Every structure is written in C-alpha cells, then in structure tokens.
A and B are shown apart, each in its own frame.
Chain A
Amino acid sequence: MSTVVLLAITGLGLGALYFLVASGLSLIYGLMGVLNFAHGSFLTLGAFAGWEIARRTGADSWVTFLLSLVLGAAVGAVMAALTEFLLVRRLYERHIEQVLVTVGLGLATVALFEGIWGTDPVFITGPAWLEQTTSIAGARIPNDRFMVIFVAVLVLLAIVAFLKFTRFGLIIRAGVENRSMVTALGIDVRKAFTLVFAVGGAAAGLGGVLASHFFGYVSPLLGGSLLIFAFIVTVIGGLGSLTGAAIASVAVALLQQFANFYAGGTGDLAVVLALAVVLLTRPSGLLGKKA
C-alpha cells in the first residue's frame, strides 16, 4: 500500500512537471500551429535562474525559494516572448522552417548553457521542509512532490481563469478554433501570439525551478528530457487542449511510474505504447479538435 501511495504521489508530481511544459506547448500549437522544440530551453533557463538567485541569497530561505519561482517564471516568459518576436514571427505557416529554427534554438541554447554552467549537474537544495518527508498511509513522501503538485494546480487554475475571463483569453480560445475568422473580426491575432508564448514560457520557467527541486539537480539537459514527455503528453491530450494536457500529464506520469516499478523499468516503453494506442484510435488526442 505504501508503495502505491508513494508511486501515485510521485507520479502526480512528475505529471505536474509535464503539465507545466505541455500547457505552453499545447496552447502554442493550438493557436499558431507551431511545434516549439525550444520549449525545453525555457525550462532549463528558468531552473538555472532560480539556482543563481538561491546560491546568492541562501538556498534554505522560503523568501529565496519564492523569489526563485518568480524569477524562473519571468526569465522563461521573457525568453519565450523574444523567441516568438525575433524568430517564430517571421515563419508563420512555414512549418518546416519553424521546426528547423526551434530545434536549432533548442540545440544552441543547450550548448550555451553548457558554456555558462558546465555540463555537470548542479545540485540543488531548498528550504528545510522541502527536503523532508511526510508520512501518508505508511509511505514517506518527499515534500517537494506536494509543492510541485500545488504550484502546477495553481498554474492550471490561473491559465484557465486567464482564458475564461480576459479578452486576450477569449481571443486565444477563439484563435485555437479558427484563427482566420478571428482576424476577420478585426482582431490582430499576432499580439495574442507573443502573449501565448510568454504565458507558456512562464509556466515552463516555473516548471524548471520546481523540476530542479524535484530531481535535486539542474543541468543543461534538464529541459530536453522533460520536453520529450511533454510532447507525448500534448499529443495524447489533444494539441490545443489545456484540459487534455492536464489529464494526459497525470495519466502519462502515473503510467510511467507504475510500469517502472511493477513491470521492470518499462515506464518509457509503456508511455510510447500509450501514445501509439491513442494515435491509432483517436488521432486528434483525448480532447483535441478534429484534425
């Protein structure tokens, strides 16, 4: 029982990280049709930014931890907005070029991060409580799991509220469904593009700081390793669907955890099989718009 609880809560924590990356990927693809392979770099940069502030102001303080979350989100948002504004903006509707540019940016930034912070993992510590465990049904759960889940739920609620209650949110939801009709109502949908990149980048940057606590380290490859699963999650959830991304994040991470433990480390294989099944039976994903 305690193993199941541990696996379940760790799975939820991992799912929360996937969601923080996948939410941006899904919104960006849904609105603009852009597959952003540089998204992992927003996460990595956020994680390093969080670490830089932690090592300067004392990693065990809660104030520092909160600051690192804010800074991680801000750095992710700025890098994402710049990526849209300087690179992607010129390439709308040119899908091959977009892939080339975002893949290139992803690779180049990893090299840049390696140049700045080195290739070895940098170990991360946080406030004492985060390093401790809490017993639930006999399972000793690391507290950082709860923190990751808590923040991801807040992010989900914040994005949902943004989409539902603001005019930009309305434009984004409409644009995901039918972008050209939005422009035909006299709306400059490109402003929403930059904003969606920034929102997605903020979530990823936040995810970077949390991931560094979850795994206990940050390295230039952190974002890329999460990005692969976030893409799978996005496809399973349905490109463009935020709710789909949330559901699929949790489902994929739980599947991965349980398969790893009970089926001899086959977690990644199980995820790929799940992807294949979804693609064969529901090609547009669980909640995706019809292709």
Chain B
Amino acid sequence: MSALHAPILTVSTLSARIAGQQVVEDISFQVPSLGVTALLGRNGVGKTSTIKAILGLIERSGEVTLAGERIDGEPTHKIVTRGVGYVPEDREVFASLTVAENLRLAERDDNPRRELVEKLFPDLVARSAQLAGTLSGGQQQMVSLARALLNDNELLLVDEPTKGLAPKIVAEVAETLEEAARTVPILLVEQNLQVVRRLAAGAVVLAGGRVVHTGSAQALLADEELTKRLLGVHGGDDSNQPAPAPHASALNPEVRQ
C-alpha cells in the first residue's frame, strides 16, 4: 500500500540526543503521502523523541526530507512553515491564553481554515474566551488538534492524541483524525491499538531507539504473536478493548474491518 505513493517524509539514519543521552539511534523509515502511518513501540522507546527530532526540537543528526527537500538543518519554525502540523504529546496548549488566542497564535497565514475548525469543534467556539488551562483534558486535545488543522499542511505529526481520554472522546479524536487523513498524511504515535487498527495503513515499530519493524499496520495487528513481542500488549481485537462509544458506530465500517 505505502509503495504506491511517493513518500512525503523520508527519515534516514536519524539519531537524536537529549541532555547528551542518545534517545534515537540511526533510524530510517518513510511516511507515504497519503493516509496514516503509525509509529509504535513500548513506553520510552523514543517515539516522542523521533517526532521532536524530525521537528528539530531536540539535537539531531542524519537526513530528513519533506516532499523531497532536506529539512534536517533547519530550525523548527522553518520546518513547520513548510507545512508540518504538530500535535504534541500532552497537548501543550498555552494555559494562560484563551482558546481563541491559542488558535490565533497557530494561524500561519492569512487564510486559516476557521470554518473547518469551527465545524469540527463547536465546543471550542462556545469556549473561545475561556483560558485554555481551565479546559478539560479532552477539550485541550481539541485545541491542540485545532491548532494543527487550522493550517494547510503537507504532513501532520500527532503524538498520542488519545492519551488519558474517555472512550467517547477517544472515538471523537479518532474520527477527527480519520477525517483529516483524507487530505493530509499523518504520522501518528498511538498506544490505543484499536485506534491504530481503525486509522493506520503503515506501521513503524521502535524499540530501544531503533526501528525493529516496518510494514502494514493491519498485518502487524493481525499477528498476535508479533504484536505481543513488539508492543508488549495484546493485538487489540475488540473483545479485549473497552467497548467503543456509541458515537463510533456512525463511522465508516470498512475502515474498522
């Protein structure tokens, strides 16, 4: 599947360090220009660090190309203005700014897609004057997603968007990402394998800062033995996961297989 599309992002021999310690070692993978690619692995294997290294938020070396152009020497703000939307782990909304200010700050050009964001997150419109620090976790995640979706992006880097959210909100976030993925490729870090199963075409698995597996996400999750070995968890078929929210049943059934 991924071979059909030229990659939007190519990472090769990328290494990164935090405070002098190697957290990503010589990794290589590609993100196709369509659909969702999952970046998986147990806790602490370097998923967040990989994303931060791509964005230049931590010290890195190696080669990263976006749409065929080298970005590994560029500062973060230049990489982002090339068209990279970032939804960080733990949301990182600006707590002392209002919802409206958080969104306004994220607008990169004169034509932000405000209508789209208002349609996706009507709750945020109602709360535009509220300080983002006083929002619930789910609402903060909406702000974080909205900041990325406001702009025309070539790639979204989304780090654990469903972490700590109630099942109903998880389903909403998954639906939003599914919607977004129709127009923009996504590199998604996600622990909830049900969400991965629903969204991801390709998968890249890390262990100890290295790539240990790449291939189809569906094939990986269908192989219980492999999933357990690589991710340390059960493959996440529906019987073992929390029941999906009623909301989720409205989703395109073929994606869930």
Contact = CB atoms under 8 A, between A and B. Distances in A.
A181 B104 CA distance: 14
Interface in B43-93: 55, 57, 75-77, 80-81, 86, 88, 92
B105 A171 contact: yes
Interface string A174-190: 10011011111111110
Looking at chain A's contact residues, is the secondary structure mostly helix, strand, loop, or mixed? helix
A184 B88 contact: yes
A183 B97 contact: no
A86 to B, nearest CB: 20
A119 to B, nearest CB: 45
A170 B102 CA distance: 9
B76 A177 contact: no
Nearest to B55: A184
Contact of A174 (B76, B80, B94): B94
Interface string A218-248: 0000000000000000000000000000000
A189 B81 CA distance: 13
Interface string B113-152: 0000000000000000000000000000000000100010
A174 B55 CA distance: 19
B241 interface: no
B80 A170 contact: no
B26 interface: no
A185 B80 contact: yes
A185 B104 contact: no
Contacts, number: 55
A181 B57 CA distance: 9
Using C-beta atoms within 8 Å of the partner chain, give the interface range for chain B. 20 to 34
A184 B92 CA distance: 11
Nearest to B101: A170
A182 B80 CA distance: 11
Contacts of A184: 55, 57, 76-77, 80, 86, 88
B92 A181 contact: yes
A253 to B, nearest CB: 27
Contacts of B151: 186
A174 B147 CA distance: 14
A171 B94 CA distance: 11
Contacts of B234: none
Interface in A176-227: 177-178, 180-189
B230 interface: no
Interface of B: 55, 57, 75-77, 80-81, 86, 88, 92, 94-97, 101, 104-106, 108, 147, 151
Given A174-B94, A174-B101, A178-B92, 4 more contacts: A170-B97, A180-B76, A184-B88, A188-B77
Interface of A: 167, 170-171, 173-174, 177-178, 180-189
8 contacts: A170-B104, A171-B105, A173-B96, A173-B97, A177-B95, A183-B75, A184-B77, A185-B86
